[in-house]
Amino acid sequence: MRSPLTARKPRVWTDVDRDYERIRIMQDLFAHLGTSTTAPLKSAA
């Protein structure tokens, strides 16, 4: 499977394509800032 970063851009962008691109950009931003995009799991202790 190819990485989404290396995949070709669609010729016709749908709402889902735009939303996915925004999420990918936000994840890159969070990684650059050193912030996690996932919440830590709470222990069942």
pLDDT by residue for the chain (45 residues), tens only, comes to 445 566 777 789 899 989 988 988 888 888 888 876 566 666 665
Q: What is the pLDDT of residue 39?
A: 63
| d(C-alpha 32, C-alpha 45), whole Å | 33
25, 4 contact by CB (below 8 A): no
SS (H, E, C) 6-42: CCCCCCCCCHHHHHHHHHHHHHHHHHHHCCCCCCCCC
Q: What is the pLDDT of residue 15?
A: 94
| d(C-alpha 10, C-alpha 17), whole Å | 8
Amino acid at 21: E
Q: What is the pLDDT of residue 1?
A: 43
Q: What is the pLDDT of residue 14?
A: 93
Q: What is the pLDDT of residue 40?
A: 65
